[in-house]
Amino acid sequence: MTYAPLPALPADARIYLRPCAFVDSPIGLDGRAARLGQGLLWFSAVELTAMRGGERLHRAMIPIEHLEVALAALPDATHARAMLEGFSRNRPPLTLGERVIRFDVPHVMGILNMTPDSFSDGGKHLGDPSAAADAGFAMHEAGAAIIDVGGESTRPGAEPVWEGDEIKRVVPVIERLARAGVPVSIDTRKASVMEAALAAGAHIVNDVSGLLHDPRSAGVVAKAGCPVILMHAPSSGDDPHAGASYSDAALDVYDWLAARVNEAVAAGISRDNIIVDPGIGFGKTLQHSLAICNALAMFQGLGLPVLFAASRKRIIGALSNEAPAGERLGGSVALALHAVQQGAQMVRVHDVQETRQAVHVWRGLRDTAIMAG
């Protein structure tokens, strides 16, 4: 790959890097390939984008062996170097009860909604904690590393749920799963629900508002010392889809997540306990979501595990003749595999068995390619 020196850029240009030009194996490519997120992927170039005030000033593909020269020529490479360090930063394992989750391989999170109105499986398990727990056990047996239990739908137009009702929906299910040693996350925006779920045995908080909806949430997570998933949504109000506005969806979401991570750390949450989620479909058009999917490897620049959640979402229907939610398996698996190929450490899905099988096959291909050199 040829390299042309960068043009003169202003001192206030903000530089972003995205890993690209992935290679089968690093063997024989010393100094010409870098590992992404301590996983099974190596990249041989980065896409460098220079931005100022929402305007793209320059974009270039730079081979790894020329990257240091390119960065040294920039008036300010602080942000770019931080991203580069994030690409290679170790993601420490999470200890969730009896289970240790390492991030050198991708994992599957299973979705278990205890709601009447979720867009795909609303009402399926509501009112029957025993049957819901059995569904969670089945997903765990099928290979889900974590079961994500939620009691409030966050689909567009969903009505808010009183926290007492949300607690009644999720706690009996979490108790059953946790007693059996199944790692559980609680999908909620409310501090009181987080507290009740953690007391019932949940191990992770998964908040679609990035801990902004409830002012007590960050303190609850910090006090518990538990892992947390910070997801991007344009609004922290009752409707997480409201008020969306982007100059560049992928870069804006990246900056938002970077700020939320710093604020969470300032609130007492360990950086090693944070997972990020770009929030596919939340206040994002089809084009916004597609842009984020294509730029997903860039989010590894945060130096944290990335969760990707697009299972059965509107993006699939929009690209497949408006297929209803129950008929989006193929698209869901395709997006999950794309995310894994871009370095995502975890994918959140409804269809655990099919996704897990696809990830196993992908891992077999990667292992063979790496060893063959």
Nearest to 87 by CA among 32, 30, 29, 41: 41
Cα separation, 207 vs 218, whole angstroms = 10
C-alpha radius of gyration, the chain, whole number: 20
Cα separation, 110 vs 253, whole angstroms = 24
Out of 284, 348, 356, 366, the active site residue is 348
348 is catalytic: yes
Angle at which helices 163-179 and 129-141 cross, to 10°:
50
Dihedral of CA atoms 360, 361, 362, 367 in degrees, nearest 10, equals 90
190 is catalytic: no
Out of 313, 314, 328, 356, the active site residue is 313
Cα separation, 89 vs 125, whole angstroms = 40
Q: How many CA atoms lie within 13 A of 263 on its CB side?
A: 13
The SS3 of residue 303 is: coil
Written as one letter, the residue type at 200 is A
DSSP per-residue letters across 50-104: EEETTEEEEEEEEEHHHHHHHHHTSS--HHHHHHHHHHH---PPEEETTEEE-SS
Cα separation, 187 vs 286, whole angstroms = 24
- Sign, Cα dihedral of 88, 89, 94, 100: positive
List residues with catalytic annotation: 313, 348
